[in-house]
Amino acid sequence: MLKIESKEIKNKIEIKNLYKIFGVYPERAVKLLQDNKNKDEILSGTKNVVGLNDVSLSIRSGETFVVMGLSGSGKSTLARCINRLIEPTSGEIYIDGENITAMSYKELLQVRRNKIGMVFQSFALFPHLNLLDNVAYGLKVQGVPVAKRHERAFHSLQGVGLSGWEKYYPEQLSGGMRQRVGLARALANDPGILLMDEAFSALDPLIRQDMQDELMNLQDKMNKTIVFITHDLNEALKLGDRIALMKDGEINQVGTPEEILVSPATEYVARFVEGVDKTKVFTAAHVMKRPQPLVYAKDGPRVALHKMKKAGISSIFVVGRGKKVQGLLYADQAAAALREGQDTVIPYLDIGYPKVAPETCISDMFDMMASANGPVAVTSPEDELLGIIVRGAIFAGLSGGESPYAGI
Amino acid sequence: MPEFRIPLGDVTNDIFDQLITVIAPVTNGISSSLETFLKWNEAFLLMWPPLLIVAVLGLLVWFFVDKKLSLFIVFSLIFMLGLNLWDQTMSTVGLVIAGTLLSLLFGIPLGILASQNDTTEKIISPILDLMQTMPSFVYLIPAVIFFGLGKVAALAAILIFALPPAIRLTNLGIRQVPAEMVEAASAFGSTRLQILKEVQLPLAMPTIMTGVNQCIMMSLSMSVIAAMIGAGGLGREVLTAMQTVDIGLGMEGGLGIVVVAIIMDRVSQKLARRSQKGEEIAGSGAGSK
Ligand SMILES: Nc1ncnc2c1ncn2[C@@H]1O[C@H](COP(=O)(O)OP(=O)(O)OP(=O)(O)O)[C@@H](O)[C@H]1O
Ligand SMILES: [Mg+2]
């Protein structure tokens, strides 16, 4: 008895032989699956769509469990079965040892209210509610009094760095901020489990990285059990304690990022991680930093020097309208401009600064990085400054803590 | 050779005769309570000095809706007063208000019901189609049979005419709420009722308000046609004018109907738009802070 309990505490979510068939005769399709028919045969034979095919998983308390797979492989279906937004055809799901597939609707509501928070790819914020009420929504439906739920929503917003935005409406925010609200809403009632279905897939690369970092920071403090859905290998490698790879509704392999990379269990997994050489997988967009601070074309040498000094850097990009790069300014040049009594730094710029497109592979940047004196600019075709890469960042990016194969 | 004729008319008469004797107590009950409601409604509108109503309405619209519209209302209503058509106007307005209120009272809940359940929608939808495609003259007759000549029959006809848009647009508005909103609400443990109240109805409000506006306009147009079965009001002026070929009287009555139509349409539309804008303003107010 004791043994079972300790095991259940360790496994926050336990999924046993889960099937989901979309269609009219789901039981018949399950039989066919058990007779080793595949997804396509069942679709053409019975018009039923296989969503999940005999999925069994144990997700440990406090781990970030990433589910990865191509489009249509059943990732969303799996996530939605966990809170029964999608009703499984057969199989069992245990949360904290309780079989939620056998629960009544009332009990299920309690599980959704207290144990599971969900973050959506499309954010799914309520446009008619301000941020505070959006975040407080889950508490409201539980009947928490208004003062108390606003207080908790306030703290939750604070936790994702959105203090002072309580009275704004979702449409007034950028995508990244909206998803912070989505996260705050999911965390407001302090659930043990966080379901994140492609939560960052709709965000720009830089914002996406920020959000991944932020989630990892939050997770260090919160220690939630996170089920994170993605089809992005890099995201999976970065966030996942363990990764499950799905294909056609089946789990192909579950393992740590390292296991997945080193010993792929099936050809599908192998293809997924094929030739993962980080320098080829990672692009400039992955390792670039936010270009801050920046000097604007109107700024004089004094401002430029002040900004460099404050940031502790010896060169800085100067941008004009629409963040269009004008050139790179070195500290000694700025000092020269000051000495010569100029009120602009434009003539002192290095216009031969190194630049790359965001999709450039890191492996193609090594030579450039080696010869660059300062940062490399990551620019759009219109010369808009998207980010900068400093030399250290590449190596940090390649060998940083999240690297699953520092030793390979 | 005996003339062959399908006796549909006779059969219908027989059926209705039977039906009426059976349900007479019910229709009489409904009829008398509706009559009281209508009388009360009209009496209330006629209780006040016309100029007071004009002034109050003008001020309300001036401060809460739109200044230009307020001026139009004041001038056109004084014009109606000058034409000696005040009582008829109030009679029509009273009937329209009663018709709209009743239609919304039944229409919005039915629309909500239809939105929650595909079977309900499938049952209600063809009935609404029938109600909307049937020429209005056709159901003026049963209305008279059940409720007798007069305002109650008119109200019944209005109800048949104005109910469909209220039901349809409520249903449509709720079904148009993005599935992801409903899914998010479910994921946080909302009951069906909470989803409806907290998410679906607020997001459907603009469409429902369009339904309210349509409901008002349908009520007005039917209240004019229903002059033929004793609805009274401005419609009767036009009807009398037609029967006596009195072009002048027709002009006056017709103008009155147009005035009432414009006022009701504009006021309800502006109010509907404001209920949306109110949110926007609240939003951008916070934004500029
Ligand atoms: N409501 C539904 N009715 C019928 N089939 C469905 C339904 N929902 C999902 N499916 C099918 O189930 C399979 C798995 O879908 P699912 O949405 O879980 O994939 P996914 O891995 O999340 O894909 P994506 O990366 O595109 O989001 C797909 O073949 C899909 O067509
Ligand atoms: Mg999906």
Find the closest chain B residue to A113 by CA distance: B189
Subunit contact A124:B199, Cβ cutoff 8 A: no
ipTM comes to 0.79
- Write the pLDDT tens digit of every residue in A61-95: 999 999 999 889 999 999 999 999 999 999 999 99
- Write the pLDDT tens digit of every residue in A181-208: 999 999 998 999 999 999 999 998 888 9
Pocket of ligand 1 contains residue A74 by CB under 6 Å: yes
Q: Which of B174, B177, B188, B200 to mutate to probe the A interface, most A CBs <10 Å? A: B188
pLDDT for A197 equals: 95
- Ligand 1 atom nearest the C-alpha of A231 is 25
| Mean pLDDT of the A225-233 span | 93
A404 falls in which pLDDT band (50, 70, 90)? very low
CA distances from B64 to B58, B214, B242 (A): 10, 21, 39
pLDDT for A311 equals: 85
Q: Which of A25-29, A43-47, A128-132, A324-328 has the highest mean pLDDT?
A: A128-132
- Ligand 1 atom nearest the C-alpha of A73 is 21
Subunit contact B287:A112, Cβ cutoff 8 A: no
pLDDT for A400 equals: 43
Please list all protein residues whose beta carbon sits less than 5 angstroms from ligand 2, which is an ion: A 76
Helix (H) or strand (E) holding A150: helix A146-159
Backbone angles phi and psi of A165, in degrees to 5:
-105, 10
pLDDT for A279 equals: 59
Of the listed ranges A95-99, A150-154, B147-151, the one predicted with least confidence: B147-151
Residue A121 pLDDT greater than 60, yes or no: yes
From edge to edge, which strands make up the β-sheet containing A49-60?
Answer: A49-60, A11-22, A90-95, A98-99
- Write the pLDDT tens digit of every residue in A5-14: 444 457 899 9
- Domain A62-83+103-277: CATH superfamily, name plus number: P-loop containing nucleotide triphosphate hydrolases (3.40.50.300)
Q: How many CA atoms lie within 13 A of B183 on its CB side?
A: 19
- Distance (Å) from the C-alpha of residue A335 to the closest C-alpha of chain B? 39
Pocket of ligand 1 contains residue A231 by CB under 6 Å: yes
- Write the pLDDT tens digit of every residue in B101-122: 999 999 999 999 999 999 999 9
Compute the CA torsion angle A35, A38, A43, A45 (nearest 10 deg).
Answer: -50
Backbone angles phi and psi of A294, in degrees to 5:
-130, 150
Q: How many CB atoms lie within 10 A of CB A317?
A: 23
Pocket of ligand 1 contains residue A71 by CB under 6 Å: yes
Residue A275 pLDDT greater than 80, yes or no: no
Q: How many CB atoms lie within 10 A of CB B15?
A: 10
- Of B183, B189, B202, which has the smallest distance from its Cβ to A141's Cβ? B189
Residue A407 pLDDT greater than 50, yes or no: no
Q: Which of A167, A187, A196 to mutate to probe the B interface, most B CBs <10 Å? A: A167
Residue A405 pLDDT greater than 70, yes or no: no
- Distance (Å) from the C-alpha of residue B103 to the closest C-alpha of chain A? 27
Find the closest chain B residue to A84 by CA distance: B187
Per the CB < 8 A criterion, the answer to whether B287 and A168 are in contact is yes
Residues A195 and A86: their CA atoms lie apart, in Å, by: 14
A140 falls in which pLDDT band (50, 70, 90)? very high
pLDDT for B165 equals: 93
Burial class (CB in 10 A: 0-12, 13-18, 19+), B207: buried
How many angstroms is it from A76 CA to the middle of ligand 2? 4
- Write the pLDDT tens digit of every residue in A21-57: 998 888 888 888 888 878 788 887 788 898 999 999 9
pLDDT tens per residue across all 289 residues of chain B: 567 888 888 888 888 888 878 877 887 888 888 888 888 888 888 888 999 999 999 999 999 888 999 999 999 999 999 998 999 999 999 999 999 999 999 999 999 999 999 999 999 999 998 888 888 778 788 888 888 888 888 998 999 889 999 999 999 999 999 999 999 999 999 999 999 999 999 999 999 999 999 999 999 999 988 998 888 889 899 999 989 999 999 999 999 999 999 999 999 888 888 766 544 444 443 333 3
Per the CB < 8 A criterion, the answer to whether A319 and A294 are in contact is yes
Three-class SS state of A50 = strand
Per the CB < 8 A criterion, the answer to whether A393 and A386 are in contact is no
Q: Which two tokens stand for residue A402?
A: 């999240």
Residues A35 and A29: their CA atoms lie apart, in Å, by: 10
Helix (H) or strand (E) holding B57: helix B50-64
A397 falls in which pLDDT band (50, 70, 90)? low
- Domain A284-399: CATH superfamily, name plus number: CBS-domain (3.10.580.10)
**Structural domains for chain B:** 21-282 (1.10.3720.10)
Domain extents for chain A? 62-83+103-277, 284-399
